[in-house]
């Protein structure tokens, strides 16, 4: 049992709260091994969030070195060095930090990997400079644990072991242990901002005075001097993790983490061929990651496929190692320096982002990971067929869960891609697909939130995915009767696209009055229940970031998804005019190439003075998203143009780090900040969705065909040259969220609900009435169709419900006026 020393405990609990770290990472990494359940990141020249035992649980805020000669300088690795992050082995997610001291003649080189066989991070540090100078240096490791995602209530100890002192930290049943191959000299456990190592050495400009052996219940930091004999310029730090549950007869213990440290330090970090070393094992694991990877045609990319290969590995590194197939959105916490403790970072599963990653991995030649992803989503699906907006890998949703219908659609589309590729093996997704299709109908036709997670209503991008998913489900997994039911609903959505999402009174671009809008807002799912809100983008208003605008004057490029999946052609006149409006309103020329804003009037992004965005701030400004440049590249290919310039634009946005950010800075370089024109902001980086978009664009350009295009969708909605166009649907849908006030006489109104019912209805104000029992479907949707005749214009359908399962009446009547 570990000997936790605590006779000299630090005063000053709980210490100063620490926020998280920068989100614009320089690199991320993990071993390509299920045995190594550690993920790590770096930004600003130090290690930032480190995750264990899964990809959604950060355990460390940051991990860095302090260097001093004891009298004339006291160097913080974040502030007193210029650094470069380099990648000596492009095929692996290892990296090297080269940090040059400002004003002093020495360099610190750190090589960072994880041990493939254990949950242990390894950092090999080499000091470079004149030996007499180096021998004067004191080097300290400084670690800020945030165990289980919390900085509060952490406890740290010095531990005496047969291999020398180690430092450990814990919260609940999580433990970490820190050791060095050279051993530790002076150590201390303290409270942040009170008596931690940074305060002791950097703030007080002295060699450490405090040597507390424990700090209990607060924001703690661990400090350890590295023992170095003269001439010893290299050392290895090992940081290992474990979970240890207490039992009725034992306490929770760091023993497993301490053992992992000792084992890791017993083998060389690097060594000659033919002998085991951590670095070579790490590299070999990544070289074997995708044995049948797709190779783009020569000349497709502008960098010799470097970003393509790295993007594939970045997506693979975002997969969990215990919940197989779970792919998180980003190993970062956007604007993390504004957030304390458990953060709604991007290290969670969004079904939309996850499916983008899984389909991109399929495009990159990976066969197993996309199927694992589909099976994970199937196991995470709610009993009613829904998918949570975002959730931890154990399935627990983040508070404030909202329904996003595109996230119900993408798992169906992923399943269809795998089926078409013959890669489902023995997994049958029928149950998942049909349950998701049911959820699309029951929860539609408007979405509670669209892909930007802000507004309720009819969104072109959401509708594109809904239509495509329903057609895919009908084509592959439904019996003929159910398939017809699904297709009729898809046709209903498709027939309403222009009425819901196209203004004919646009004013944004002179000469272009007809174009897609960002969204036709509705107000029925958030408690308002405003059924009188007209389904007309010409007249309604939309509220964005506490400001109100005409819906016809707010645009995004989400309509391009209609082209991507085959619902509309690239040459559709309204698509073409909408592209012109996008270019005039939300396109931004940058040195790297064109960037695109999510939409005009966006408030989700860095302030103009570089302020970090936070919920409720008044200064946020949405910045260009590189993934939207990729979406435009897909459109250009579909339109018969060359997409390769867009591939190169994305490569330029990735920069020397080879990472694509969520957003890029669109103003001139901002002095004394990291913000340069076209470079990352404080939003998420890397963003898995952006790397997925790049991979799919490269694959599409190489194949000369949009990889996401679904022929089964295009064949239904885009007639071949000379072919007869399919007759537009005459179906209208009424449900308790879409209480249709009126419709054209001659159409059929369908009422699909999730419980059995009998409809009592009248066309003559109850002078006569009929009862119609709802038909049951294999989807557990019950529906009644009420056809109308053109001659009935001027009359009204009136109806109410008798719920057969409970033998109760609805207790109110509903009316649909019929007009010409």
Give the separation between CA 241 and CA 169, rounded to whole angstroms.
10
Give the separation between CA 388 and CA 725, rounded to whole angstroms.
38
String of DSSP letters for 490-511: HHHHHHTHHHHHEESS--SBTT
Burial of 642 (0-12, 13-18, 19+ CB in 10 A): exposed
Give the separation between CA 691 and CA 360, rounded to whole angstroms.
8
Give the separation between CA 366 and CA 387, rounded to whole angstroms.
25
Give the three-class secondary structure for 132.
Answer: helix
Once rounded to an integer, what is the mean pLDDT over residues 304-331?
Answer: 97
DSSP state of 536: -
List beta partners, residue 589.
594
For residues 655 and 677, the answer to whether their CB atoms sit within 8 Å is: no
String of DSSP letters for 656-682: GGT---S-B--SS--TTSS--TTSB-S
* Residue 2: predicted pLDDT: 80
Q: Are strands 814-819 and 796-803 parallel, antiparallel or unpaired?
A: antiparallel
Which residues does the annotation mark as catalytic? 450, 453
Within 8 A by CB and 6+ apart from 465, the residues are 405, 406, 409, 410, 413, 561, 565
Burial of 566 (0-12, 13-18, 19+ CB in 10 A): buried
For residues 42 and 95, the answer to whether their CB atoms sit within 8 Å is: yes
Cis bond leading into 8, ω under 30°? no
pLDDT in tens, 137-158: 999 999 999 999 999 999 999 9
Give the separation between CA 696 and CA 712, rounded to whole angstroms.
19
Cα three-residue angle 445-449-452, rounded to 5 degrees: 130
Write out the two tokens for 619.
Answer: 């200064």
Cis bond leading into 209, ω under 30°? no
Does the pTM of the predicted model rise above 0.75?
yes
With CA atoms as reference, report the closest residue to 785 among 756, 757, 751, 755. Answer: 751
Burial of 606 (0-12, 13-18, 19+ CB in 10 A): buried
| Residue recorded with tokens 């679904």 | 710
* Residue 1: predicted pLDDT: 67
For residues 356 and 689, the answer to whether their CB atoms sit within 8 Å is: yes
In the predicted model, what is the mean pLDDT of the chain?
96
Q: Rounded to the nearest 5°, which phi and psi values hold at 533?
A: -70, 120
Within 8 A by CB and 6+ apart from 204, the residues are none
Q: What architecture (CATH level 2) is domain 731-819?
A: Sandwich (2.60)
**Chain centre to alpha carbon of residue 267:** 36
CATH pick for 3-287 out of 2.60.120.10, 2.70.98.10, 3.40.47.10, 3.50.50.60:
2.70.98.10
Give the separation between CA 138 and CA 158, rounded to whole angstroms.
20
DSSP state of 225: E
Classify 587 in phi/psi space as left (phi over 0), alpha (psi -120 to 50) or beta.
Answer: beta
Residue 290 predicted with pLDDT over 90: no
For residues 377 and 432, the answer to whether their CB atoms sit within 8 Å is: yes
Residue 480 predicted with pLDDT over 90: yes
* Residue 277: predicted pLDDT: 96
Q: Are strands 742-744 and 814-819 parallel, antiparallel or unpaired?
A: parallel
Give the separation between CA 742 and CA 130, rounded to whole angstroms.
85
**Domains of the chain, residue spans:** 3-287, 306-335+344-717, 731-819
What Cα–Cα distance (Å) separates residue 431 from each residue in 377, 415, 670, 719? 12, 11, 53, 31
Instruction: Find the DSSP H helices in 735-804.
Output: none
**DSSP H/E element including 772:** strand 770-773
Write out the two tokens for 297.
Answer: 């045609």
For residues 746 and 730, the answer to whether their CB atoms sit within 8 Å is: yes
Write out the two tokens for 68.
Answer: 């001093």
Residue 565 predicted with pLDDT over 80: yes
Give the separation between CA 204 and CA 212, rounded to whole angstroms.
17
Once rounded to an integer, what is the mean pLDDT over residues 364-384?
Answer: 97
Polymer length of the chain: 820
Q: CATH 1.50.10.10: does it fit domain 306-335+344-717?
A: yes
Percent of the chain predicted with pLDDT > 90: 94
For residues 207 and 30, the answer to whether their CB atoms sit within 8 Å is: no
pLDDT in tens, 481-515: 999 999 999 999 999 999 999 999 999 999 999 99
Within 8 A by CB and 6+ apart from 724, the residues are none
Confidence bin at 269 (pLDDT 50/70/90): very high
**Chain centre to alpha carbon of residue 482:** 33
**Chain centre to alpha carbon of residue 802:** 44
């Amino acid at each position: 049992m570990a000997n936790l020393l605590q006779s000299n405990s630090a005063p000053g609990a709980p210490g100063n709260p620490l926020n998280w770290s920068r989100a614009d990472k320089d690199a991320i990494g993990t071993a390509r091994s299920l045995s190594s359940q550690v993920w790590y990141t770096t930004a600003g020249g130090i290690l930032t969030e480190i995750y264990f035992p899964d990809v959604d649980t950060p355990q460390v805020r940051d991990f860095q070195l302090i260097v001093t000669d004891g009298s004339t300088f006291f160097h913080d690795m974040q502030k007193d060095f210029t650094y470069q992050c380099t990648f000596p082995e492009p095929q692996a997610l290892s990296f090297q930090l080269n940090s040059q001291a400002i004003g002093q003649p020495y360099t610190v080189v750190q090589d960072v990997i994880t041990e493939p066989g254990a949950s242990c991070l390894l950092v090999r540090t080499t000091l470079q400079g004149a030996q007499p100078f180096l021998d004067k240096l004191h080097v300290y490791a400084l670690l800020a644990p945030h165990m289980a995602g919390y900085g509060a209530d952490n406890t740290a100890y010095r531990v005496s072991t047969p291999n020398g002192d180690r430092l450990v930290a814990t919260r609940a049943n999580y433990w970490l242990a820190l050791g060095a191959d050279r051993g530790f000299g002076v150590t201390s456990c303290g409270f942040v901002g009170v008596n931690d190592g940074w305060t002791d050495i950097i703030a007080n400009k002295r060699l450490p005075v405090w040597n507390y052996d424990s700090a209990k219940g607060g924001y703690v930091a661990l400090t350890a001097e590295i023992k170095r004999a003269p001439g010893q310029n290299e050392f290895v730090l090992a940081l290992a993790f474990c979970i240890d549950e207490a039992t009725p007869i034992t306490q929770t213990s760091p023993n497993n983490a301490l053992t992992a440290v000792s084992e890791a330090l017993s083998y060389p970090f690097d060594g000659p061929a033919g002998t085991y070393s951590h670095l070579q094992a790490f590299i070999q694991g990544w070289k074997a990651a995708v044995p049948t990877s797709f190779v783009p045609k020569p000349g497709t990319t502008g960098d010799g496929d470097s970003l393509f290969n790295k993007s594939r590995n970045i997506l693979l590194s975002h997969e969990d190692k215990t919940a197989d197939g779970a792919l998180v959105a980003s190993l970062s916490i956007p604007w993390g320096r504004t957030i304390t403790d458990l953060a709604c970072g991007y290290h969670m599963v969004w079904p939309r982002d996850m499916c983008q990653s899984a389909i991109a991995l399929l495009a990159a030649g990976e066969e197993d990971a996309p199927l694992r992803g589909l099976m994970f989503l199937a196991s995470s699906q709610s009993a009613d067929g829904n998918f949570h907006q975002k959730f931890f890998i154990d399935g627990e949703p983040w508070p404030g869960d909202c329904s996003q219908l595109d996230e119900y659609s993408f798992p169906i589309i992923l399943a269809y891609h795998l089926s078409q590729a013959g890669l489902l093996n023995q997994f049958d997704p029928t149950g998942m697909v049909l349950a998701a299709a049911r959820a699309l109908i029951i929860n539609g036709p408007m979405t509670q939130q669209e892909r930007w997670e802000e507004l309720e209503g009819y969104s072109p991008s959401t509708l594109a995915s809904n239509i495509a998913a329903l057609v895919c489900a009908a084509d592959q997994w439904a019996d003929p009767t159910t398939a017809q039911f699904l297709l009729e609903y898809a046709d209903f959505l498709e027939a309403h696209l222009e009425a819901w999402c196209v203004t004919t009174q646009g004013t944004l671009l002179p000469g272009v009055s007809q174009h897609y809008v960002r969204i036709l807002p509705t107000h029925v799912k958030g408690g308002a229940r405003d059924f009188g809100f007209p389904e007309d983008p010409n007249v309604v208003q939309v509220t964005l970031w506490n400001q109100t605008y005409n819906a016809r004057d707010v645009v995004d490029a989400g309509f391009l998804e209609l082209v991507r999946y085959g619902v509309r052609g690239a040459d559709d006149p309204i698509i073409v005019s909408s592209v012109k409006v996008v270019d005039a309103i939300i396109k931004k020329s940058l040195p790297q190439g064109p960037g695109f804003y999510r939409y005009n009037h966006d408030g989700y992004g860095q302030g103009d003075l570089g302020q970090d965005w936070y919920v409720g701030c008044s200064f946020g400004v949405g910045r260009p998203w590189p993934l939207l440049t990729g979406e435009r590249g897909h459109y250009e290919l579909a339109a018969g143009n060359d997409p390769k310039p867009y591939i190169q634009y994305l490569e330029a946005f990735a920069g020397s780090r080879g990472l694509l950010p969520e957003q890029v800075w669109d103003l001139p370089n901002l002095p004394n900040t990291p913000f340069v024109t076209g470079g990352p902001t404080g939003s998420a980086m890397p963003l898995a969705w952006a790397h997925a978009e790049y991979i799919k664009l490269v694959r599409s350009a190489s194949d000369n065909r949009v990889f996401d295009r679904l022929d089964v969708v295009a064949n239904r909605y885009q007639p071949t040259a000379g072919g007869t166009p399919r007759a537009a649907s005459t179906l209208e849908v009424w449900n308790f969220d879409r209480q249709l006030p009126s419709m054209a006489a001659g159409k059929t109104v369908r009422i699909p609900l999730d419980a059995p019912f009998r409809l009592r209805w009248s066309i003559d104000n109850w002078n006569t009435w009929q009862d119609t029992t709802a038909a049951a479907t294999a989807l557990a949707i019950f529906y009644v169709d009420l056809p109308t005749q053109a001659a009935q214009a001027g009359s009204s359908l009136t109806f109410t419900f008798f719920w057969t399962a409970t033998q109760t009446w609805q207790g109110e009547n509903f009316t649909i006026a019929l007009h010409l």
